[in-house]
Structure 1
Amino acid sequence: MQHTLTRLWARYRTVFKIAFFALLALGLYLGMRPTPAPASYNWQATFYHMAGLFSLTLLSYPAFPRWYWWIRGLLMFSMGVAIEYVQSFHPTRSAEWADILANSSGIVAALLLAGICIFLSRRLTPRSRP
């Protein structure tokens, strides 16, 4: 099964890269525009932060499979901090530590999920004997 997934990822890598950069552009636009995203409840803004970086981190695996997990996490964390930094300059937005914590929890959850999936796929793949 891992061989089939690897072949599919290699075949559609360009599609995954386009989807990654499209989601990145959407996240940068929504994070850096002067008006915040509409949220009726306080937990919705936290969910936007967590879900955005969770999905971006997961999408980075098929798009860029050779990145180490710690480089992937560091790049995603840097992007979240950069968005909060830009938000601190808008008069209608505010940079908050809670948003950085929500970003980090989404990244960590995605890294853990991907790590578990990679571990299980390697563990369950039958190995050929010489």
Structure 2
Amino acid sequence: MKKFLSSTLFKVLFLIGVLAIFIGSVMPGKQLPTNLPWDKALHFTGYFGLAFLARMGSDKRPTWLLIVACIAFSFLIEIAQMYIPNRGFEWPDLLANSLGVLAGTVCAIPIKHYLKKRKIMATK
């Protein structure tokens, strides 16, 4: 029986997520939609998804390394925003991103274990 889920699928989705977050983060402030819900919820949600996909797509990397990499990406994006018109570095954004990374990772671990145990997700 062919497995529907694989780490390759999650890796591709992770790369799409990185690209989406990057593009959304480097847009000048005036080009951003004004009718967005609470800003910090978007930060949390985006990085939750990114970390979730990172953990689901990686069999070789330790969890702590994925967490550090996602938070480092977030930090670099915040630094880059200092040089983008009408954007800036915000510690609350970095906090929301980091909490999203931690929550996404914590959620992915038991889900990945369950999918592998039930042989729904390929191990390689």
TM bucket (normalised to shorter chain) is: 0.7 to 0.9
- 1:79-124: per-residue Cα shift (whole Å, max 9, x none)? 00011000011231121100000001101111222234467x4xx8
Structure 1 residue aligned with 2:109, among 89, 110, 115?
115
1:46 aligns with 2:19: no
Contact kept, 8 Å, 1:39 with 1:45, in 2: the verdict is no
Letter in 2 for 1:29: I
- Distance in 2 between the 1:14 and 1:118 partners? 14
Percent identity reads: 24
- Distance in 2 between the 1:29 and 1:57 partners? 17
Bigger relative contact order, structure 1 or 2 (CA pairs below 8 A, ≥6 apart): 2
- Backbone CA RMSD of aligned residues: 2.6
Structure 2 residue aligned with 1:37, among 27, 32, 36?
32
**SS state at 1:88 partner:** helix
Deviates most, 29-38 or 98-107: 29-38
| Shift >2 Å, 4+ stretches | 12-16, 35-41, 114-119
For normalisation by structure 1, the TM-score amounts to 0.74
Number of residue pairs aligned between Structure 1 and Structure 2: 116
Q: Which has the larger radius of gyration?
A: 1
List gaps (5 residues or longer) in structure 2: 119-124
